[in-house]
């Protein structure tokens, strides 16, 4: 088993140039990369999923070529493609007698976001969502991997209007099928069944007390518990018999709750002014207020920390083990990797971990 806590390993980053129209066609290694000024960033809730920046000295980059970043550990025989990117900016600076380039890297998905449909596209009733998704991707010269993805048969004709990006259309099709849209390290578009973070199996454990130092010194916890509502209210206004009527209801947390007025000394009200409510009764309003209060009771907890390199990316789930601090935040905290930034120079990662009990944002 690979031991990522073994800090004696040799981490090697290779940047390869590939054909922008055929990501399987290698064009040689990119020379002059300054790893100290280069990084990759993943975001679970970011449409493009992964971005990056490379500092390159000299004229090694063939303008227009795509770039593939690979992590290797030679003594383990380990190799992993971290990402394959299009270059969207090549700002150049002349200093010390030569030119250096700051290359902005974007994923295949970003390339689909700038590719707008120039005529309406009608997807007929009974068509399959995956078939339409494949047509969208392949028409842009990219590859779609959808092995095991959910599919969906359209119940009626769907028209994708002029000016819609291929990426927006793909997100719509993925939502229909309950799939998640992503991109792999080779630059292929990926569709796979959506799995809530709370149902995912942890990839690994990050123990803040591990003496081997995988988790670097310094961790920050943020929570919204002081902003969480302790009252949820419903107000519904309607006309009856030519007169304006109003139904109001509210629900309040238990007196024993840490959110109660007696515990915090102030009230935060979540007011819902409804345009429709059926049936239009006080009982229904009270039921809705209670539901809103339950939804409001989900605490959002995030952790930010730095680690040595770990083979994780945004969307993975890890167990963060906390040994001290407030009692309610100790122990193994199951977390979604929300964002992840890898500094290619020293191979350290800046992580934002969102506890899976905090609910979903998409």
- Give tens-digit pLDDT for 158-174: 999 999 999 999 999 99
Query: How confident is the model at residue 242, as a pLDDT?
Result: 85
Q: Which residue numbers in the chain have pLDDT < 70?
A: 1, 361-362
Q: Where does 111-193 sit in CATH, by number?
A: 3.55.50.10
Query: How confident is the model at residue 82, as a pLDDT?
Result: 98
Instruction: Find tokens 């073994």 and name the residue.
Output: 6
| pTM of the entire predicted model | 0.92
CA angle 109, 65, 55 (to 5 degrees): 90
What are the backbone angles phi and psi of residue 294, rounded to the nearest 5°?
-60, -45
Query: How confident is the model at residue 1, as a pLDDT?
Result: 61
Q: Residue 156 has what DSSP assignment?
A: S
Query: How confident is the model at residue 291, as a pLDDT?
Result: 97
CB-CB contact of 41 with 82 (8 Å): no
Q: Which residue blocks in the chain are alpha helix, DSSP H?
A: 108-113, 129-139, 166-177, 261-264, 282-296
Are both 12-110 and 199-224+299-357 of the same fold? no
- In the chain, domain spans: 12-110, 111-193, 199-224+299-357, 231-296
Q: Where does 199-224+299-357 sit in CATH, by number?
A: 2.40.30.150
Q: Which CATH class name applies to 12-110?
A: mainly beta
CB-CB contact of 233 with 250 (8 Å): yes
Q: Which residues fall within 8 angstroms of residue 96, CB to CB, at 6 or more apart?
A: none
Query: How confident is the model at residue 362, as a pLDDT?
Result: 59
Query: How confident is the model at residue 290, as a pLDDT?
Result: 97
CB-CB contact of 251 with 286 (8 Å): yes
């Amino acid at each position: 088993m690979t031991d990522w806590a073994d800090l004696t390993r040799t981490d090697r980053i290779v940047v390869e140039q590939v054909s922008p129209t055929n990501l399987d066609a290698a064009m040689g290694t990119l020379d002059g990369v300054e790893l100290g000024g280069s990084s990759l960033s993943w975001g679970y809730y970011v449409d493009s999923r992964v971005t990056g920046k490379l500092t390159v000295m000299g004229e090694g980059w063939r303008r227009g070529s795509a770039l593939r970043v690979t992590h290797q550990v030679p003594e383990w025989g380990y190799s992993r493609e971290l990402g394959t990117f299009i270059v969207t900016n090549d700002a150049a600076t002349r200093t010390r007698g030569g030119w250096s380039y700051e290359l902005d890297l974007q994923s295949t998905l970003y390339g689909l976001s700038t590719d707008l449909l120039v005529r309406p596209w009608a997807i007929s009733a009974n068509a399959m969502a995956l078939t339409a998704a494949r047509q969208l991707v392949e028409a842009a010269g990219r590859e779609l991997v959808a092995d095991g993805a959910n599919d969906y048969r359209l119940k009626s004709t769907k028209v994708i209007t002029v000016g819609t990006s291929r990426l927006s259309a793909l997100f719509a099709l993925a939502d229909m099928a309950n799939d998640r849209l992503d991109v792999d390290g080779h630059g292929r578009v990926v569709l796979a069944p959506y799995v809530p973070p709370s149902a995912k199996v942890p990839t690994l454990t990050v123990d803040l007390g591990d003496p081997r130092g995988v988790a670097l010194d310094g961790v920050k916890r943020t929570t919204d518990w002081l902003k969480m509502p302790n009252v949820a209210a419903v107000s519904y206004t309607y006309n009856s018999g030519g007169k304006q009527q109003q139904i109001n209801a509210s629900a309040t947390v238990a007196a024993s709750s840490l959110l109660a007025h007696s515990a915090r000394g102030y009230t935060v009200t979540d007011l819902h002014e409804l345009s429709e409510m059926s049936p239009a009764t006080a009982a229904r309003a009270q039921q809705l207020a209670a539901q809103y209060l339950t939804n409001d009771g989900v605490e959002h907890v995030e952790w930010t920390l730095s680690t040595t390199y770990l083979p994780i990316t945004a969307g993975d789930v890890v167990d963060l083990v906390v040994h001290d601090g407030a009692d309610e935040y100790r122990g193994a905290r199951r977390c979604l990797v929300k964002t992840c930034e890898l500094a290619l120079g020293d191979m350290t990662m800046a992580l934002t971990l969102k506890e899976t009990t905090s609910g979903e944002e998409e």
